[in-house]
Amino acid sequence: MEDFTWFLVFVGRPNAGKSSLIGKLTSVKPVIGKKPGSTRRINIYNITKKFEVVDVPGWGKIHDRAKSYEDLVKDRIVEFFEKYKFRIPACILVIDAKSIIDVSKRLSKKGIIPIDQELYNFLRENKIIPIVAINKIDKIGKIEAEKAVQYIKKLIDYDNLPEEYQEAVITVSAKQGTNLGVLRDLIRKHLRNNDVEEFERYIKLR
């Protein structure tokens, strides 16, 4: 059989906490807290020959760069998903709870679809239903966190999601470890559902 690589994908806007979550849940050691927006490459980290972790930056406004550069980044991301969508047993969309409400409201006032919503819809169009990890809840209070959750649920048309995916919208804190056990179990479940449970052992908390 041809050598086949499976991808565990973390996607989300720069600074949402993708690298932090990858560092907590896998043996990969990514650089954390790079300058936001400085890295727009798709980073692929090798866990085994057959299982790799992928850090996909969200597209969107890039400071000091021409529109054509933004488009190039977007094209690369679209190409990646279109090419590999059948090799992605689990995809985690990481959203920064603190900034989602401010940023999204500002954008929707201007009639622009929030990037996280655009990303989510794009994944769904590619038949990928991501686990949604609403990160950095340590930075906000309970009421604000609940607001962020409700807002995101609206963006992703949560009420019409299949039941098994409704449980996959969770709040986490990569920094404090909140709900990372739940996230780990969800990722493992998705691996199992896609018959690649042999990789479950690589997803553990550290």
Q: Which residues bind ligand GDP (CB under 6 A)?
A: 12, 14-20, 32-34, 135-136, 138-139, 173-175
Least Å distance, CB 51 to ligand GDP, is 20
Burial (CB count within 10 angstroms: exposed 0-12, middle 13-18, buried 19+), residue 172:
buried
Burial (CB count within 10 angstroms: exposed 0-12, middle 13-18, buried 19+), residue 168:
buried
> Nearer Cβ to ligand GDP, position 36 or 113?
36
> Nearer Cβ to ligand GDP, position 33 or 162?
33
Least Å distance, CB 96 to ligand GDP, is 8
Least Å distance, CB 39 to ligand GDP, is 7
> Nearer Cβ to ligand GDP, position 93 or 107?
93
Least Å distance, CB 24 to ligand GDP, is 9
> Nearer Cβ to ligand GDP, position 136 or 188?
136
Q: Could you give the residue ranges of the DSSP H alpha helices within the chain?
A: 18-25, 67-84, 97-109, 115-125, 142-155, 163-166, 180-193
Question: Which residue, among 10, 6, 8, 65, has the nearest Cα to 188 in the 3D structure?
Answer: 8
> Which residues are 173's β-sheet partners?
178
Least Å distance, CB 33 to ligand GDP, is 3
> Nearer Cβ to ligand GDP, position 118 or 200?
118
Task: Indicate if the alpha-carbon torsion angle 196, 39, 94, 124 is positive or negative.
Answer: negative
